[in-house]
């Protein structure tokens, strides 16, 4: 059996990463029978080659007839657009995995990371949300530990690459590297070259920026732990690709680093790279283009008897975005969890 797949926002950064993953070889759990690409009027008509076949980018419009015949759609578009398009895609009978912030906290819409909460996808009604890239790699790394020794508190500080903002931010960083004084500063409130900016997203008025609030709320939803204590500080750094996170967790019981290391080595989607004596630990430069989440610097937190510290790095465009969406498609296809509610004409809330 093969599947008809659409990419909504195909010319954007995440959309292109999705196509690069397909280009590298067909996924055994998601054999692609046909592929259609959608984007705004600005990009419509462009020709893109995927797996040797040339595709013309179609104009995306919120009409269910446009998406009829598709089995899966990845939506890598803005929040406002996603609120409009996701119900339309579901109405057409396809499963829409949306990468925006629009549906993540919507009651009744699963927020899924397949290594963590695959069963949540079963209850979808045509829309499945993918979490924020920084949340994704953190929950992949922490879930195996949480299953063995429940986590009572998480403190995370992130070091997030500019590609999380989009290709214009990457261009701006490169321009500032070439000309620090004359290059534009449009994507961030300050120069990012040779700088760190402790501001990601909009200011929420409670001392948090929206990226920090996302990490708190999304982790609680994915873990099904609505009262889990979490504190996050999110920082933009002058790195093109690859988010890094310093994570401190308070556990239910004391837990030796050796035990955590062994559990993580056996966990899906994780590579443990942890030999500090020989300067071996994950770094953005070495994980860019890689699928797994990399974990290192696993150690006892000296400030707490039940504390553990970890360093987690991942490619924010792959597992943080496009790859997670593909894995959700594979999960749904493998289990036959089709959107019967949407096809039967039941209401999909917008």
DSSP-assigned letters across all residues of 9-47: TTTSHHHHHHHHHHHT--BTTB-EEEEEEEE-TTTTT-E
Q: What length does the chain have?
A: 350
- Say which DSSP state 148 is in: H
Structure tokens at 187: 């994507």
Give the C-alpha separation, 232 to 215, whole Å: 7
> Encoding tokens for residue 80?
């406002």
Answer yes or no: 133 catalytic. yes
Strand arrangement of the beta sheet that strand 58-59 belongs to: 58-59, 32-39, 3-8, 72-75, 95-98, 127-129
Catalytic residue among 243, 248, 304, 349: 243
CB 321 within 8 A of CB 99: yes
Query: Residue ranges of the alpha helices (H) in 74-209?
Result: 79-91, 133-148, 167-178
CA angle 213, 218, 224 (to 5 degrees): 130
Task: Point out the catalytic residue in the list 133, 193, 248, 304.
Answer: 133
As a three-state string, the secondary structure of 179-247 is CCCCCCCCCCCCCCCCCCECCCCCECCCCCEHHHHHHHHHHHHHHCCCCCEEEEEEEECCCCCCEEEEE
Instruction: Tell me which residue of 109, 107, 70 sits closest to 91, measured CA to CA.
Output: 70
Active site residues: 133, 243
């Amino acid at each position: 059996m093969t599947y008809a797949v659409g990419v909504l926002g195909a010319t954007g950064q995440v959309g292109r990463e999705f196509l690069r993953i397909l280009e590298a070889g067909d996924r055994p759990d998601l054999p692609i029978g046909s592929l259609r690409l959608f984007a705004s009027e600005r990009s419509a008509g462009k020709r893109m080659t995927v797996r040797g076949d040339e595709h013309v980018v179609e104009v995306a419009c919120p009409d269910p007839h446009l998406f009829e015949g598709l089995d899966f759609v990845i939506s890598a578009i803005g929040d406002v657009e996603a609120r409009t398009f996701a119900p339309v895609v579901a109405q057409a009978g396809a499963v829409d995995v949306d990468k925006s912030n629009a549906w993540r906290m919507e009651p009744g819409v699963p927020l899924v990371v397949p290594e963590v909460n695959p069963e949540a996808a079963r209850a979808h009604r045509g829309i499945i949300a993918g979490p924020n890239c920084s949340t994704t790699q953190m929950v992949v790394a922490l879930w195996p530990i949480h299953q063995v020794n429940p986590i009572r508190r998480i403190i995370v500080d992130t070091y997030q690459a500019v590609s999380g903002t989009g290709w214009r931010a990457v261009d701006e960083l490169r321009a500032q590297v070439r000309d620090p004084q004359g290059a534009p500063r449009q994507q961030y409130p300050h120069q990012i070259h040779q700088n760190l900016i402790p501001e990601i997203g909009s200011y929420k008025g409670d001392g948090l920026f929206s990226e920090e609030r996302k990490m708190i709320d999304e982790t609680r939803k994915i873990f099904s732990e609505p009262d889990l204590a979490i504190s996050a500080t999110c920082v933009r750094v002058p790195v093109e690709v690859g988010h890094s996170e310093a994570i401190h967790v308070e556990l239910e019981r004391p837990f030796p680093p050796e035990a955590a290391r062994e559990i993580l080595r056996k966990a899906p989607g994780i590579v443990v790279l942890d030999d500090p004596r020989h300067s071996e630990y994950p770094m953005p430069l070495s994980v860019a283009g890689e699928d797994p989440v990399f974990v290192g610097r696993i150690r006892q937190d000296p400030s707490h008897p039940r504390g553990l510290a970890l360093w987690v790095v991942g490619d924010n465009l792959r597992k943080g975005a496009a790859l997670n969406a593909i894995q959700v498609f594979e999960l749904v296809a493998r289990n036959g969890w089709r959107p019967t509610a949407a096809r039967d004409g039941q209401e999909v809330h917008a």
